[in-house]
Chain A
């Protein structure tokens, strides 16, 4: 039985050594997420100052709280992110409040994507996504150093080839 407090539980299978993702992902995620909150907050604050409508300040306060929550939760999310390569499958674990773990056998892999957007490139990270024949397989590892992403891609591809099965 797992303790609700959380330590081992189903998201920590025995004998699995988790690889963390790069902490540069924190910066990348903050840079992507914060403007979406801060820009409306600043605009609303200006509007509130100009119009003198007090109701708007509550919205600004709510956005400020949201900002603080984002700043608090993103580092935790990134630290909770992890993957592990076992002999026959890849494990990916993530989430703080909503936790998930996915086990993808190498032989089920159809193709691998490596992606890096402008913010990712600025932070020097890349994301690897494993695709199986199921669209529900959410095997996505964000925040890998480009060299590690390339290594993982090649490794996954070669392991997938060695264990290839049909559908």
Chain B
């Protein structure tokens, strides 16, 4: 297990090797520094420019009469001069900022330098890479540019953002970085070198537009919208007070915003598997292509919302160390909505081996079942805890296999969380005075920061003690056999072909 601690396998090009071709040459530090695309300031600053233009237009409209007076006088020169100065200043600052932003890549790390007044140098180790995203906001897409975002597990704002690069360049860089992070050696690349061929990928699942819309219609938020849209005008007519209508847009605005976000992000969702990880593509206005290498997913959650029950639709979310929670639903969705089979397929991408003999029966028990169901091995709440959770006490439960801990809860809207045992950070038990009275306790598995917080309440205290003990022991065993950080180096060591179809996806299997 300590093999992964050794230095990066040799054979990689020395970091200092200068490239013979191309205009950026190796600096004194032996790194080849490159700049981002020159159009970047325009793409980044278009909002500011638009706002400025709007303000000027409005001012001009308001003061047309006075403006005409000014034009007659010498004021026009002042006005134009001021405008020119502002434009020059903004352009100059953007140019400076662009000029100061440089990045370099060597065998072990990505380096980024930026900042005009407050200079920043950031260096991220490739073997600590958690995910790589290619983000294309709508303006960037018009210019054929993309932002490359490298996530490392360093808390909020720890990502390295290379913005903006040519789309093909971003893709090539992504493939190269992932290959290096995986421990597949590639030679130092000159700027004119051909973009590395993308590794073969296999399409796994996509979300049809009709189902995405259906899933959004069948949410409690949508119900609120519909009810408000009916109730407010109705109340207005009954009360005879048309003033209430002003409340309608305000109340609906936030809800509709949430729904729109969900639609926008889930639009054209595609999941695929490649040797370098799970690929997710989605987004209407902002297109996003995410790659999460194998073994970087810390927890998976399958969730069926209340109104999805009859359609048996499931949403799959994940915890990835780099993404954190702030970005919320944007990046941590493995599948916005899918049938049970699709959701299980998505789960399989992360956890190919659940460590149970009959995976399908087990998963059906996890997704549908209640009670302890001896075959599935769920430890559920004792009967006495029905006073504490009258609806869900039969459902709430934990199952442990050799590979994962599976937590199940929710009577009507089911939530099932899967935590690979080699990814659990620590285990907690807690108990308040009421729970102590009932002889029950809470079991918590600590996963990295994210949407998923695996916890089960109201289990029998003795069961909790036993489960915590087992999680600790089995996690230790699972970690000992876990895949190394450079997930493909082991495959190479075993003499297997690196670009195999799905074989490498297993990570720890």
Binding site for B on A (CB under 8 A): 1-4, 6, 9-11, 13, 88-89, 95, 97-105, 107-108, 132-139, 164-167
**A136 & B444 in contact (Cβ 8 Å cutoff):** yes
**B476 & A6 in contact (Cβ 8 Å cutoff):** no
Name B's interface SS: mixed
Cα of A95 to Cα of B431 in the assembled complex, Å: 9
Q: B441 on the interface (CB 8 Å rule)?
A: yes
Cα of A138 to Cα of B425 in the assembled complex, Å: 11
Closest-CB distance, B57 to chain A (whole angstroms): 47
Closest-CB distance, A57 to chain B (whole angstroms): 30
Cα of A72 to Cα of B128 in the assembled complex, Å: 48
Given known contacts A134-B447, A166-B4, A98 and B426 CB-to-CB distance under 8 angstroms: no
**A167 & B298 in contact (Cβ 8 Å cutoff):** yes
Cα of A9 to Cα of B468 in the assembled complex, Å: 13
B298 to chain A: which residues have CB within 8 Å?
Answer: 167
Closest-CB distance, B173 to chain A (whole angstroms): 23
Cα of A126 to Cα of B457 in the assembled complex, Å: 33
Cα of A99 to Cα of B429 in the assembled complex, Å: 8
Interface residues of B in 437-487 (CB under 8 A from A): 437-439, 441, 444, 446-449, 453, 460-462, 464-465, 468-469, 472, 475-476, 479, 482, 485
**B446 & A132 in contact (Cβ 8 Å cutoff):** yes
**B432 & A10 in contact (Cβ 8 Å cutoff):** no
Q: Which 10 residue pairs are nearest across A and B when measured between Cβ atoms?
A: A10-B465, A134-B425, A134-B446, A100-B430, A132-B425, A104-B426, A2-B461, A137-B426, A136-B446, A101-B429
**A98 & B469 in contact (Cβ 8 Å cutoff):** no
Name A's interface SS: loop
Cα of A107 to Cα of B153 in the assembled complex, Å: 16
Given known contacts A132-B426, A133-B321, A165 and B462 CB-to-CB distance under 8 angstroms: no
Nearest opposing residue in chain B for A86, CB measure: B472
Given known contacts A4-B439, A13-B469, A136-B453, A166 and B485 CB-to-CB distance under 8 angstroms: yes
Closest-CB distance, B79 to chain A (whole angstroms): 53
Binding site for A on B (CB under 8 A): 1-2, 4-5, 128, 130, 153, 296, 298, 321, 422-423, 425-433, 436-439, 441, 444, 446-449, 453, 460-462, 464-465, 468-469, 472, 475-476, 479, 482, 485
Nearest opposing residue in chain A for B473, CB measure: A88
B5 to chain A: which residues have CB within 8 Å?
Answer: 164
Which of A13, A88, A95, A166 has the largest count of B CB atoms less than 10 A from its CB? A166
Which of A98, A105, A165 has the largest count of B CB atoms less than 10 A from its CB? A165
A101 to chain B: which residues have CB within 8 Å?
Answer: 428-430, 468
> Which of A103, A107, A135, A137 contacts B479 (CB under 8 A)?
A107
**A167 & B446 in contact (Cβ 8 Å cutoff):** no
**B432 & A97 in contact (Cβ 8 Å cutoff):** yes
Cα of A132 to Cα of B2 in the assembled complex, Å: 19
Given known contacts A101-B429, A167-B298, A9 and B461 CB-to-CB distance under 8 angstroms: yes
A102 to chain B: which residues have CB within 8 Å?
Answer: 426-429
A132 to chain B: which residues have CB within 8 Å?
Answer: 425-426, 446
Given known contacts A132-B425, A133-B448, A136-B446, A98 and B462 CB-to-CB distance under 8 angstroms: no
Closest-CB distance, B157 to chain A (whole angstroms): 15
**B468 & A100 in contact (Cβ 8 Å cutoff):** no
**A98 & B468 in contact (Cβ 8 Å cutoff):** no
A137 to chain B: which residues have CB within 8 Å?
Answer: 425-426, 428, 446
**A2 & B439 in contact (Cβ 8 Å cutoff):** yes
Closest-CB distance, A9 to chain B (whole angstroms): 6
Nearest opposing residue in chain B for A165, CB measure: B479
Nearest opposing residue in chain A for B295, CB measure: A166
20 new A-B contacts, CB < 8 A, other than A134-B448, A165-B482, are A1-B461, A4-B436, A9-B461, A10-B431, A11-B429, A89-B472, A97-B432, A97-B433, A98-B432, A98-B433, A100-B431, A102-B426, A103-B472, A104-B426, A105-B479, A108-B425, A134-B425, A137-B425, A165-B479, A166-B4
Nearest opposing residue in chain A for B480, CB measure: A165
Which of A11, A89, A99, A103 has the largest count of B CB atoms less than 10 A from its CB? A103
A10 to chain B: which residues have CB within 8 Å?
Answer: 429, 431, 441, 461-462, 464-465, 468
B4 to chain A: which residues have CB within 8 Å?
Answer: 166
Cα of A134 to Cα of B441 in the assembled complex, Å: 21
**B436 & A6 in contact (Cβ 8 Å cutoff):** yes
A4 to chain B: which residues have CB within 8 Å?
Answer: 436-439
Closest-CB distance, A138 to chain B (whole angstroms): 7
| Residue contacts A-B, CB under 8 angstroms, 20 given | A4-B437, A4-B438, A6-B436, A9-B461, A10-B431, A10-B468, A88-B476, A89-B472, A100-B429, A101-B430, A104-B425, A105-B472, A108-B425, A133-B153, A133-B425, A134-B448, A137-B425, A165-B1, A165-B479, A167-B321
